[in-house]
Amino acid sequence: MADTTSGATSLANRLRVSAIAREDRVQSAFSDGNDNTMWQSAWSMVASINNRVASSPSPIDPVLLDIDLHDLWHIYWHGAINTDDNSAKLDLLALQIIQLRDQGVLRYQTPGGAVEVTASNGRRLWTDLPFLVEDMMEHWTNNCAALSSDQRLSGAQFLANIAAAGAAADDALCGIALVVLRETLERPRPRSLLAPTDGDDKRGMGDLTIADLLPAANAWLFTAGYKLVMLSDSQWEGCSAEVGGFGELVSLFLQDSNCPPCLDAANYGVRAAHPRTIDVGVTTARGIQSPAMDLVATSP
């Protein structure tokens, strides 16, 4: 009973420390902007985790380890969105994640030999980068609308960088590209001029215009476009149907009685992870014109 109470107290204290650190990190990264040093904070945290595992006489509690990992990806996200999209520091943040994965499997020593360190979901540190994909997907889907235009572009560029480098197993990060492209090109949105916007916590995805999202889509296509094409050619299905599902414009086209048999919903819709660029091209060719295509065509 005492051990259970002690464990619950330890977890509560750790969560409290995490919440305080996250709030401080958000404010610090935002105020420092392109001069933020989140890359140093992240690498220091990695070293701390490695040292704690190496010096621990017993296995690390995976629940506490999970908190560390979520905090680590939180550092990278806020470092990225507050760094200029064309800054070498953004490349450094992406490079660190690749270097982290390439550290291989973290192990601790027991009398019976070395044992792999895993998170609560069974993923290994650091080879599997536990929770990276889930956390980055959550950061993007839950926060991208509230970000300023500069932050949104930097976040998209960072994610495209690590996805193009194959950071995650099965290229699962590319599911974020499908979300970006669907929201930009497959949903009815108002058109507007490309213009800088400030962050707004009250803004939701439905409030964004095509121009708000086009820079993010362009970052993905420019940086990871070749990988997306390869995944499409191999009929990649590395994400859920919710992530890879069609937007309203493509769904409308697939319901068309004149839709070619090779593209009908039964044969094509099941390939939920196909890059949306293909769908948009088909949609435009069939006459269900996306306003985004007009904007792209008329952009200088």
Distance CA 265, CA 251 (A): 8
Cα distance between residue 148 and residue 154, in whole Å: 10
Per-residue model confidence as pLDDT tens digits over 129-150? 999 999 999 999 999 999 999 9
- Give residue-wise pLDDT tens across range 5-30: 656 777 888 899 999 999 999 999 99
Which residues does 238 contact at the CB level (< 8 Å), separation at least 6? 170, 171, 172, 174, 175, 231, 273
pLDDT confidence of residue 274: 38
- For the chain, how far is it from start to end, CA to CA, in angstroms? 69
Q: Higher-confidence residue: 97 or 56?
A: 97
Contact 22, 71 (CB under 8 A): yes
* Cβ(280)–Cβ(186) below 8 Å: yes
User: What is the distance between the alpha carbons of residues 37 and 176, in angstroms, rounded to a whole number?
Assistant: 26
Instruction: Tell me how far apart the alpha carbons of residues 286 and 82 are, in angstroms, rounded to a whole number.
Output: 40
- Taking the C-alpha atoms of residue 170 and residue 161, their distance in angstroms, rounded to an integer, is 16
Contact indicator for 108, 115 with CB cutoff of 8 Å: yes
pLDDT tens, residue by residue, 165-216: 999 888 899 999 999 999 998 888 887 877 788 899 999 998 999 999 999 9
- On the 0-12 / 13-18 / 19+ scale of CB atoms within 10 A, 253 is buried
Confidence of residue 92 (pLDDT cuts 50, 70, 90): very high
Phi-psi map region of 191: left, alpha, beta (phi>0 left; psi -120 to 50 alpha): beta
What CA–CA distance (Å, rounded) separates 114 from 101?
A: 19
Alpha helices in 2-61 (DSSP H): 2-32, 38-55
Q: What is the SS3 assignment for 107?
A: strand
89 or 10, which is more confident: 89
For the chain, the domains span 1-130, 171-300
- The residue ranking higher by pLDDT, 295 or 128, is 128
The strand pairing partners of 109, in sequence order, are 114
Q: What is the mean pLDDT of residues 247-254?
A: 69
Amino acid found at 13: N
d(CA 151, CA 163): 18
Token pair listed for 133: 């994909």
Q: Is 175 exposed, middle or buried (0-12, 13-18, 19+ CB in 10 A)?
A: buried
pLDDT of residue 112: 81
3-state secondary structure of 290: coil
Cα distance between residue 201 and residue 190, in whole Å: 20
| Predicted model pTM | 0.83
CA angle 40, 46, 49 (to 5 degrees): 140
